[in-house]
Amino acid sequence: MFLYIRMIITMVVSLYTSRVVLNTLGIEDYGIYIIIGGVVTLFSFFNSAMSSATQRFLAFDIGTNDEVKLKQTFNATLNIHIGIAILVLILAETIGLWFVNYKLNVPIEKMNAINWVYQFSIFALLVGVVQVPYNALIIARERMNIYAIFSIVEVSLKLFILYLLIVSPFDKLKTYAVLMFFVTILIAIFYTYYCKRNFTESIYKFFYEKQLYKILISYSGWNIFGNIAAVARGQGINILLNLFFGTVLNAAFGITLQVQGAVQVFVANFQMAVNPQIIKNYANGNTKQSLNLIFQSAKFSYFLLFLIVCPILFSIDFILKIWLINPPKYTAIFVTLALINLLIDSVSGPLMTGIQATGKIKWYQIVIGSFIFLNLPIAYVLLKIYNKPELVFFSSIIISCISFLFRLYYVRNSLKLSVIDFFKQVVSKIFVVSFIVLVMILFFNRIDVSLSEFQIVMIRSFYIIIITIIAISLFGISKNERLFIKQFIFNKISK
C-alpha cells in the first residue's frame, strides 16, 4: 500500500515542481539544467550496469538463504561501487568538463553558472553511485514500505527547496543545482542509516575474494554494453537535440522526461515488487513460477500504463497548457511519442528481469545493446537530413519493437518460455484491448457537443478510463486473474 501512496505523491509533486522550476528558471536556464544533467548522466552507465547486477545477486543470495554469501556480496558490491565513483569522477572532470565548456550549444555568458551546475551534478551522481548497494538491499529484502517512505521524504524535500529557490537572492540556476545536491546527500544518509540498523549484512567490513569480484564484474561488464546503449538512446538524443537546436529543445526534452518518469512510476512500483520474486523463484529452481510471473507482470504492466497514458495522449495540448501555461515548443509531440514508446517497453521489463535472473546475459546484451545503440546514429542521420526533432522518437519506437522481439527470443532459449503462449496470453490480449479502446475513443471524438474545453477533457478522460477498465476485464484477463486482482486490491485496502 505504501508503494501506491508513494506513487501518487511522487507523481503529483514531480509534475508540480517541474512547472515551478520551469517558470522560475525560464525556458533557457531550464534547458541548460537538463542538458548539463544529460552530460553527467552519460557517465552513469558504469553505475547502471553494476546496479542491476547488485540487485540480482543480493536477491539471489536471499533466495538461497545464504547469509554469509549475502554479507560477502554486499561488501563486494559496495567496494566496486566506490571504485566506479572514482572512475566516474576522473572521466567527468576530464572528458566531460572539456565537452561542456567547448562543445555544447549553450550561451557563452552563462558558462560560470553552467560549470556550477555541472560540478554539483557530478557530486550528486557520485553520492548516488555509492548509495546503490543500500537501495538494492532494501528492494531485495522487499521492504517496499521503507522504500516508499524514503521516496516520499525525497519528493517532500524537493518541494521544500522550491520555496528556497523562489526566495533566493542568488543566481537561480546555481541555487537549484546546490539544493538538489543537498537533497541527494540527505536521502543517502537516510538509506544508509536504515540499512545499518536493520540488516547486519550492510555493516561494512572489507572483504576480498577474487572469484566473487570476478563474477560480479564479469556480469556487470556485459550489462555495461547494454547500459551504454540505453544512455545513448536517452541522453545521447538529448545532446544531439542541443547540438542541432539549442537549449529550448532541451527544455522540451526535460519536460518529456518528467512526464515519462511520473507515468512510469506506476509500472515501476508494480515491477519492483514482482522482480525479486522472479529472481528468487528461479534461484530456488521454480522456473515455472518465474515464467508465470513474467507473463502476468508483462500483461498487467501494459494495462496499468495504458489506463494512465490513454487519457493523457488524447488531451495532451490542454494538459500542457494548464500545467505549464507556456510549454516549450515540440513538448506535446515529444511527450506523445515518448509515452507510446514507454508502453512498448513496459512489456519488455519482465522479460529483461527473467534474463537477468539466469545470469546468461553476454549475447543478450551484445545483440539488444547493438539495436538500442542504433538510436543515436539513426537520430543523427534523420536530424541531418530532415531537421525535424520529432523523428528521433519515431525511430526509437521502431527499435523498441525490434528489441522486444529479440528479448522474447532470448527468454525462450534461457527459460524455455513458449513464444506462442506469450503471444496468445499477453500480446494478443494487449492488442485486442488497445484496438477496442482506440476505436471507442475515436467514436467519442466524432460527437459534437457544446461544452467548454475543460468539460470535454474531463468527460473524455472519465469515458476512456471506464471503457479501458471494461475492455481489460472482458478481453484482457482471465477469470482467475480477475479474482486475483480483486483479492489483491482488497488486501491492499484492508491493510
Query: How far apart, in whole angstroms, are the C-alpha atoms of residue 126 and residue 89?
Result: 7
pLDDT digits (tens, 9 = 90+) for 252-267: 999 999 899 888 887 8
What pLDDT does residue 205 have? 81
pLDDT at 74 over 60: yes
Verdict on whether the full-model pTM lies above 0.85 = yes
Give the model confidence (pLDDT) of 425-475 as tens digits.
999 999 999 999 999 999 888 877 778 889 999 999 999 999 999 999 999
The C-alpha cell at 245 is 537546436
160 torsion bin: left (phi>0), alpha (psi -120 to 50), beta (else): alpha
pLDDT at position 495 over 70 = no
Burial (CB < 10 A; 0-12, 13-18, 19+), residue 407, is buried
What distance, in Å, lies between the first and last C-alpha atoms of the chain? 7
Return phi, psi of residue 374, to 5°: -60, -20
Q: Above 80 in pLDDT, residue 489?
A: no
| Average pLDDT, integer, range 277-289 | 88
